[in-house]
Amino acid sequence: MDFKRQKTKRDIIVNAYFKCKQKQLISKIVIATIYLLIYLIFVLFLFSDLTFAEPSYGRDYLALQSSNFSAIGAAKYVSPGFSFGVLDCTFSCDTTKTESVLSQVSTKYLRIHEINGPCIRNGNCGKYEIGYGYNKTSWDIAVSKKTPKIIAYVKKRTQVWLGISQHYPQTTFIISPELEHDLSKKSWRVLADTVKSVWPNVLLSNSPDGGLAVERYLGAWLEGHGATPNLNSDIVSTDGQSISYMNIEAFKRRTINAQLVFSWEVNDNCRLTGGNFIDPRKRPWCPNNDQFQVLAHILDFVPSAPKFVGTQCKIIKSFKDPLIWKPLPEQFPKPDPRVGLPCGITTFNNKKALQVLSSNGSIIGSLGYYGTYGKMFRYYSGWKNGSHNNGYQMEKAASLNTESPWVWLRNGNACQGPLIPGRRQGTYK
């Protein structure tokens, strides 16, 4: 009996021990599983962010239908799957050039503004525009009352774009009834309903100026403009502020949650910076090939800057404020060799030229001396002693040598950099 009792006690102790170990093992498995799930969720989130969250980038060719705008240039430098926008019937109602771009390159989204809201607000619509003779108050009243002429116009233009869309099934067409409108909610809904009466399944864009009629009525995407659009915008365009003046990385961070992001430059409206208003159909200052190429890549991904390993630069200083690098100088009123080619404004004083170096010291371009700029000095790729290559061409040349687009400016044994020649650097507007 004593022996059996002893054995039973021993069994109880052993069983308890193994049960304890079993519980510990189960706890470890549970904890390990939780950690694994957390890790997998993090990886999936990271992958999703990198792969799907980035917007579709494109170009806002508002003046594409102008007789002076090159449809070949508009399609030449972009990649398949890009997106673009146009302004209908301000520069022309002829859609030939828009259709030409669609036929030349596979397009993900095409956004069309059917009515020019800013010209109504500013009182400078052409006689050829539906908004001619209205101000923003009288226009809102006319739309809200469903004025037959306005309704007929919107139906007609929507029918035109519906017909074009049948030839490009891979492209999602987006109709914005009015660009940067000042309409009341009631009036904007009238235009939205009119578009949908012709094209029931089309995607709408609501492009208000300020806080008017900001709503996703009938599934419309909200559209915001400028460098600091509303954070809830589905579509963003830099329309109103040239992309070449902006801090690109800051802009991309701000607009990361948008569905569609357009870059816009002043010459996308075929006009000069500032100056008096000129009839859109008489403007000759549309983009040239250099401008098309630079702007097609201005929102491209840029890797981190490498270390300069060439032997020429004994002194290297950062390229920062107050220095200025302009990928595109101002649009000049008359033909000028500097148009579309970069400008550097720096403390370097060299009456001939500055070299542009890649990270291994290879010379990939030069900027010719132009003159003073306050207490600094101004140089252009498109001027005497300049290499006459544009900012993106410099990036490509640097990448061929080093697999990096970053460059440095050299004057003697001193250098300033790094910088991306296809983007503004130093001082931003």
pLDDT at 205 over 60: yes
Q: What is the pLDDT of residue 30?
A: 61
Place of tokens 């000759």: 284
Q: What is the pLDDT of residue 196?
A: 98
Give the Å distances, CA to CA, from 175 to 43, 50, 172, 230, 419: 37, 29, 10, 20, 38
Question: In this structure, how many other beta carbons lie within 10 angstroms of the beta carbon of residue 222?
Answer: 20
Q: What is the pLDDT of residue 51?
A: 42
pLDDT at 370 over 90: yes
* Residue 102 pLDDT class (50, 70, 90 cuts): very high
Burial class (CB in 10 A: 0-12, 13-18, 19+), 190: buried
Asked if 85 and 61 count as a contact pair (C-beta separation under 8 A), the reply is: yes
Please compute the mean of the pLDDT values over residues 9-19 and round it to a whole number.
59
pLDDT at 45 over 50: no
Q: What is the pLDDT of residue 308?
A: 96
The secondary element (H helix, E strand) that includes residue 21 is helix 2-51
**How far apart, in whole angstroms, are the C-alpha atoms of residue 136 and residue 125?**
12
The pLDDT > 70 percentage for the chain reads 87
Q: What is the pLDDT of residue 97?
A: 98
**How far apart, in whole angstroms, are the C-alpha atoms of residue 177 and residue 221?**
12
What's the pLDDT tens digit per position in 121-167? 999 999 999 999 999 999 999 999 999 999 999 999 999 999 999 99
Least confident interval from 109-113, 273-277, 379-383: 273-277
The pLDDT > 90 percentage for the chain reads 82
- Tell me what the pLDDT averaged over the chain comes to: 91
Least confident interval from 7-11, 111-115, 273-277: 7-11
What are the start-end ranges of the H helices in 199-316?
Answer: 248-254, 289-296
Token digits of residue 387 = 């290499």
Q: What is the pLDDT of residue 212?
A: 73
Place of tokens 């508002």: 62
CA dihedral (330, 333, 337, 340) positive or negative: positive
Token digits of residue 136 = 């923003």
Q: Among candidates 122, 210, 190, which has minimal Cα distance to 131?
A: 122
The secondary element (H helix, E strand) that includes residue 99 is helix 96-104
**How far apart, in whole angstroms, are the C-alpha atoms of residue 80 and residue 53?**
19
Q: What is the pLDDT of residue 48?
A: 42
Specify the DSSP class assigned to residue 218: G
Please calculate the CA angle 362-367-371 and round it to the nearest 5 degrees. 150
- Longest Cα separation, the chain: 117
**How far apart, in whole angstroms, are the C-alpha atoms of residue 321 and residue 247?**
12
**How far apart, in whole angstroms, are the C-alpha atoms of residue 260 and residue 264?**
13
Say whether pTM exceeds 0.75: yes
Least confident interval from 191-195, 214-218, 227-231, 244-248: 227-231
Question: In this structure, how many other beta carbons lie within 10 angstroms of the beta carbon of residue 98?
Answer: 23
Least confident interval from 39-43, 82-86, 110-114, 141-145: 39-43
pLDDT at 50 over 50: no
In the sheet that holds 363-373, the strands lie side by side as: 315-317, 414-419, 407-411, 353-357, 363-373, 376-380, 343-346, 324-326, 425-426
Please calculate the CA angle 255-263-376 and round it to the nearest 5 degrees. 100
Q: What is the pLDDT of residue 44?
A: 47
pLDDT at 5 over 70: no
Q: What is the pLDDT of residue 213?
A: 77
**How far apart, in whole angstroms, are the C-alpha atoms of residue 337 and residue 241?**
24
